[in-house]
């Protein structure tokens, strides 16, 4: 069940990479790919049982991972987690700020508690993880950080709390790339569009039904895979991206380029890449 990566074997040998939200979805997939390329992965997330499952999967595939239960929204927990990773790994070469979450709701119905929960998860938690990895290790030794944004250009009606946080993460990425460059730290972001990941299964049935129609709005006329998102993350962490910092890579099938003046032609010419043998698309998308 070895991950079939497009990158060369041993690319991250001897390196340690932290992956938040490593218990499911894009985080799980990215952790598998990094481990298959030789990295020792630190899996961070709120649910220990999910982290333990991924740890066992990685071990069965011949890789190495440690688990670190943590609510990234809590500063004291983040501080302790980064210290624990360093105690076990001895170094932190990369950080994948993948953890996030949101719920669909119109702006008028979002409570302050709901707004704060999403912003703290999708923006504040990423800042805390990046800051502590920088303070504890990267400031003196360098490193690479990849933050998670989303397809939020032009707004995210129906999930404005997430859109605001994701847009903030892009600006944080650009600011940190400048401030931390003198320490040899690169900071970039990825912005996935509609990826056929497990996150879709957390939404109610009516949202899932609506989601089935989304691929018709994408020039490539399909959903993305977890592997396609992970590959962009891995590239930005790698030495091949040594002169790339402060940028955000869109992984969206060109959805931002679709225009009402140009009708999209249905087609099946775009072939998906999937290097993850344990990947399974959301059940409601299987026939799409």
- Residue closest to 70 by CA, chosen among 57, 51, 89: 51
pLDDT of res. 202: 74
The two tokens of residue 218 are 């994408």
Cβ atoms of residues 131 and 75 within 8 Å: no
pLDDT tens digit sequence for 163-203: 999 999 999 999 999 999 999 999 999 999 999 987 777 77
pLDDT tens digit sequence for 20-52: 999 999 999 999 999 999 999 999 999 999 999
pLDDT of res. 160: 96
Q: How far apart are CA 29 and CA 35, in angstroms?
A: 10
Q: Set out the domains of the chain in order of their start, with CATH numbers.
A: 16-271 (3.40.50.720)
Sequential DSSP letters for 263-286: PPPP----PPP---TT----GGGT
- Residue closest to 97 by CA, chosen among 164, 172, 151: 172
Distances (CA, A) of 242 to 97, 134, 135: 19, 18, 21
DSSP assigned state of 202: G
pLDDT of res. 39: 98
Sequential DSSP letters for 72-89: TT-HHHHHHHHHHHHHHH
Residue 206 has pLDDT above 90, yes or no: no
3-state secondary structure of 152: coil
pTM of the model: 0.95
The two tokens of residue 3 are 């991950």
Residue 287 has pLDDT above 60, yes or no: no
Residue with tokens 């302050």: 112
Residue 185's φ and ψ, nearest 5 degrees, are -110, 125
Residue 285 has pLDDT above 80, yes or no: no
Other beta carbons within 10 angstroms of residue 84's beta carbon come to 16
3-state secondary structure of 110: coil
Cβ atoms of residues 97 and 173 within 8 Å: no
Start-to-end CA distance of the chain, whole Å, equals 26
pLDDT of res. 200: 76
- Residue 226 or residue 212, greater confidence: 226
Cβ atoms of residues 91 and 41 within 8 Å: no
pLDDT tens digit sequence for 49-96: 999 999 999 999 999 999 999 999 999 999 999 999 999 999 999 999
How is the chain split among helix, strand and coil, in percent rounded to 5? 45, 15, 40
């Amino acid at each position: 069940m070895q991950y079939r990566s497009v990158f060369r074997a041993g690319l991250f040998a001897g390196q340690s990479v932290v992956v938040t939200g490593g218990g499911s979805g894009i985080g799980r997939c990215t952790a598998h790919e990094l481990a298959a390329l030789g990295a020792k992965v630190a899996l961070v997330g709120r649910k220990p049982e999910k982290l333990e499952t991924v740890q066992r999967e990685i071990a069965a595939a011949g890789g190495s991972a440690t688990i670190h239960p943590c609510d990234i929204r809590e500063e004291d927990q983040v501080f302790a987690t980064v210290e624990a990773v360093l105690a076990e790994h001895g170094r932190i070469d990369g950080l994948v700020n993948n953890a996030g979450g949101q719920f669909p709701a119109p702006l008028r119905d979002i409570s302050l508690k709901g707004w704060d929960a999403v912003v703290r998860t999708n923006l504040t938690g990423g800042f805390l993880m990046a800051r502590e990895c920088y303070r504890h290790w990267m400031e003196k030794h360098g490193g690479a950080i990849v933050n998670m944004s989303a397809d939020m250009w032009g707004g995210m009606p129906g999930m404005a709390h997430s859109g605001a946080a994701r847009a903030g993460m892009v600006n944080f990425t650009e600011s940190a790339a400048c401030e931390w460059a003198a320490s040899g730290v690169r900071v970039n972001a990825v912005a996935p569009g509609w990826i056929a990941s497990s996150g879709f299964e957390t939404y109610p049935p009516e949202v899932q039904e609506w989601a089935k129609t989304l691929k018709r709005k994408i020039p490539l006329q399909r959903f993305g895979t977890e592997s396609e998102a992970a590959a962009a993350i891995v590239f930005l962490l790698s030495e091949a991206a040594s002169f790339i910092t402060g940028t955000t890579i869109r992984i969206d099938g060109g959805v931002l380029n679709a225009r009402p003046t140009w009708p999209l032609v249905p087609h099946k010419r775009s072939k998906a890449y999937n290097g993850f043998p344990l990947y399974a698309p959301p059940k409601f998308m299987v026939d799409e």
